[in-house]
Chains A and B, each alone.
Chain A
Amino acid sequence: MRRRLRRIGALVRLSLLELWRRNDLFALLVLALALLVPLSLARPFGTAGATRFYDDAALLLVWGYSIFVSLGVGARLFPGEFASRSIYPLLAKPVSRGELLAGKYVGGVVAAWSALAFFYALWAVSSALRGGDGLSLCLLQAFALHAVFSALVVAAAVAGSFLLTPSANATLLAILFPAMLFFGRRLPEFAEGARGPVRLLARAAYWIAPHAEFFDMRQRLVHGWGGVDPAVFLAAAGYGIAYALLLLLLARFLFERKSL
């Protein structure tokens, strides 16, 4: 058991190093600064004191970046190993396919979480400097649900990487998750207005597709609503974890059947 954990730990370390060695995060940071610095200095109609729009924009960027990072990390975990054939020496060691998948997945999730924690820390500091709450129960819940969402995105990207080409996988998920984030809960209304197969598809999507909006606590943070009810929090987190586990089982099934 200890040996297995050590092997998984090594894979986690590798994933972390890979993410932070790449300059993606720094590029994102530059982009964020270029957008947020002018926004923080804006005085609409010459008025001062409005902060919520800034918090809103910053959190929207955090969401966009977290989808970008999680998808990138998840979608890169296996295709690179197959293309460079480095999967053979990996599997030649006493590591099962399931262990390799688990190790790489945990590594990917930890790497995505580290980026997420970095973005949330920047947001919390910036909010506290402008008189916001700083560290609060709502912020912790928002971070926790967002972390579950990141784990779900990485799982979807890993499962997708066994089914689709890397570009198709990334493109499809880059459309699916933002679409669900912004329009997921509107699907029943859309289905109501649609006809025939479109109606059925919209209904099926509402039941089956990953509900990214469950993890989005931006409104609560920006407008100071406070934390969510613990039962709702646990239900949303449970939904995300269960969905990610299902996707990982699918990924394992596909990986086990893949001929190398």
Chain B
Amino acid sequence: MRRLPAICGAAGAAAAAALCAGLLARADAARRPQGLEGGDLLAVLLGDARKDLAGAMVREADSYFHGGVSDMHDLHHHHHEHGEGETCEECEKEHDRDEHEHEDEDDHESHGPDPWRWINAGIRAPEVHRHLDGERSVELMPWFWAAARADPHNVEAWGSAFHVALRMLKDEELALRIAEEGRHLNPSSIELADTLGQAYRAEAVRDDAKAEEAFRAAVELVRGREALNEGEYVAFFDALSHLAESARERGDSPALSALLEAARRVAPDHPTVLFVARELDALRAAP
């Protein structure tokens, strides 16, 4: 009888929490941009710390992708599996590279005698290294979602969520939704403009005009930028090669020429520059 208030409290709290969650889910169903509302509150509460929080969540998603392994040092001498026991050539290569890197690290980084390493490794290292793939990769989404809520400007979270939705879950509509929201919240991101272009090229939601618009935005965003990071660099050339392909299909040599100029300004020796130049030559030589 004395516990009745506590039990009533528990039931009340659970009901209130369920109500809040239901309202949030309904708002979510209305496709509100993820992170807009939450972003404001978190910005007030956490300030710039929310960026670190989002980064930590993206790292957690990476750990989930590796089947829960957060420290690659733990992966020495394990058997590597992909999916339900299948091996994956690409993953094996990545894994071999990791092992070589860690062997090198071990050579250079000796922390002295470690009496506890054996127990720690036994508890923390999986006997089999499994990557999440296919439908099971839905387990990654909560972390990307939380990262995007914590910091709506975390481009990596949006981009990775898009990649998982498109390539692993094979859900093109979900991928488009994520790309649109990410782009809406980050209009100056070259990577997310390119991502949106890729999303519109997916079969189920194909819209070439919108894809081209997004790719063009990605290329335009590079103007006036002094330096590009690796992701932006890759996104720029991806968007540019898509635009070059459609310009060639249209036979639009002025557009192709403008693209070649833009590509040369960023990296004159990039293979895409050579590709666009060849396409332009072929177009000009055609009768």
Q: Which A residues lie at the B interface, using CB under 8 A?
A: 23, 26-27, 29-30, 33-35, 37-38, 41-53, 185, 188-189, 191-192, 203, 206-207, 211, 213-214, 216-217, 219-220, 222-223, 225-226, 228-229, 231-232, 235-236, 239
| CB <8 Å contact, B123 and A232 | yes
B161 within 8 A of A: yes
Contact assessment for B177 and A45 in the assembled complex, using a CB-CB cutoff below 8 Å: yes
Shortest CB-to-CB span from B245 to chain A, Å, is 30
Question: What 1/0 mask marks residues of chain B from 137 to 148 whose CB sits below 8 Å from any chain A CB?
Answer: 011111111100
Name 8 extra pairs, CB < 8 A, besides A38-B24, A53-B143, A214-B116: A42-B142, A44-B141, A44-B142, A47-B138, A51-B139, A52-B139, A53-B139, A223-B126
Residues in B whose Cβ lies below 8 Å from that of A48: 138
Given the known inter-chain contacts A47-B174, A50-B139, A219-B124, please indicate yes or no for A192 contacting B17, CB distance below 8 A.
Answer: no
Q: Which of B17, B20, B22, B69 contacts A33 (CB 8 A)?
A: B17
A214 engages B120 (CB within 8 Å): yes
Instruction: State A222–B67 Cα separation when bound (angstroms).
Output: 9
Interface residues of B in 67-118 (CB under 8 A from A): 67-70, 109, 111-112, 114-116, 118
With A and B bound together, what is the CA distance between A213 and B116 in angstroms?
A: 11
A235 touches B118 (CB 8 A): yes
B159 smallest CB distance to A (angstroms): 13
Does B111 contact A189, Cβ atoms closer than 8 Å? yes
Find out whether the CB atom of A30 lies under 8 angstroms from the CB atom of B10: yes
Contacts of B124 in A (CB 8 A): 185, 213, 219
A37 touches B18 (CB 8 A): yes
Instruction: Check if B13 is an interface residue, CB within 8 A of chain A.
Output: yes
Which A residues are CB-close (under 8 A) to B165? 45
The CA-CA distance from A30 to B69 in the complex, in Å, is: 32
Alpha-carbon separation in the docked complex, A191 to B9 (Å): 47
User: Which of chain B's residues have a CB closer than 8 A to the CB of A232?
Assistant: 118-119, 122-123
- Kindly list chain B residues whose C-beta atoms are within 8 Å of the C-beta of A207: 115
Contact pick for B141, options A45, A203, A239, CB 8 Å: A45
Residues of B within 8 A of A30 (CB): 6, 9-10, 13
Chain B 7-33, CB-CB to A under 8 Å as 1, else 0, gives 101100110111011101100110000
Determine which residue in B7, B14, B70, B174 has the highest number of CB atoms from chain A within 10 A of its CB, and name it. B14
Chain A, Cβ-Cβ closest to B67: A223
Q: Does B220 contact A (CB under 8 A)?
A: no
If over half of A's interface residues share one DSSP class (helix, strand or loop), that class is named, otherwise mixed; here it is helix
Closest partner residue, chain A, to B31 (CB atom): A46
| B contact residues, range | 35 or more
Chain B: minimal CB distance from A228 (Å): 6
Known contacts A30-B6, A38-B20; A206 and B116 CB within 8 A of each other: yes
B64, CB-defined interface residue at 8 Å: yes
Would you call A239 and B145 a contact (CB within 8 A)? Answer: no
- Do residues B6 and A26 form an inter-chain contact, with CB atoms below 8 A? yes
- Whether, in the assembled complex, B135 has its beta carbon less than 8 Å from a beta carbon of chain A, the answer is yes
B138 x A37 contact (CB < 8 A): no
Contacts of A211 in B (CB 8 A): 116, 119-120
User: Which residue of the partner chain A has the closest CB to B169?
Assistant: A47
B40 at the interface (CB under 8 A from A): no
User: Are the C-beta atoms of B116 and A185 separated by less than 8 Å?
Assistant: yes
B112–A188 contact, CB under 8 A? yes
Do residues B142 and A239 form an inter-chain contact, with CB atoms below 8 A? no
Tell me, yes or no, whether B34 is within 8 Å of chain A by CB.
yes
A47 touching B64 in the complex, CB below 8 Å, given contacts A211-B116, A225-B127, A228-B123? no
**In the assembled complex, which residues on chain B have CB atoms less than 8 Å from the CB atom of A188?**
111-112, 114
Residues of B within 8 A of A34 (CB): 13-14, 16-17
Complex contacts, B115 vs chain A, CB 8 Å: 207
Is B3 interfacial (CB 8 A cutoff)? yes
Chain A proximity of B175: nearest CB distance (Å): 10
> Could you tell me the distance in whole angstroms from the C-beta of A108 to the nearest C-beta in chain B?
22
Of B20, B22, B142, B144, chain A has the most CB atoms within 10 Å of the CB of B142
**Pairs across A and B, CB under 8 Å, 18 listed:** A26-B7, A29-B6, A29-B10, A34-B14, A34-B17, A35-B17, A45-B165, A47-B169, A47-B171, A50-B139, A53-B143, A185-B124, A192-B111, A213-B123, A223-B67, A225-B128, A226-B127, A236-B122
Which B residue's beta carbon lies closest to that of A238?
B119
B161 to chain A, nearest CB (A): 6
Using Cβ atoms and an 8 Å threshold, which residues of chain A touch B116? 185, 206, 211, 214
Contacts of B28 in A (CB 8 A): 43, 46
Determine how close the nearest CB of chain A comes to the CB of B149; give it in whole angstroms. Answer: 9
Distance, CA A185 to CA B115, complexed state (A): 11
Q: Is the CB of B3 within 8 A of A33?
A: no
Q: Choose among A37, A191, A222 the residue that contacts B17 (Cβ–Cβ < 8 A).
A: A37
Collect the chain B residues with CB atoms within 8 Å of residue A38's CB: 17-18, 20-21, 24
Residue of A nearest to B16 (CB): A34
Which B-chain residue is minimally distant from A51 (CB atoms)? B139
For the complex, is B235 an interface residue (Cβ under 8 Å from A)? no
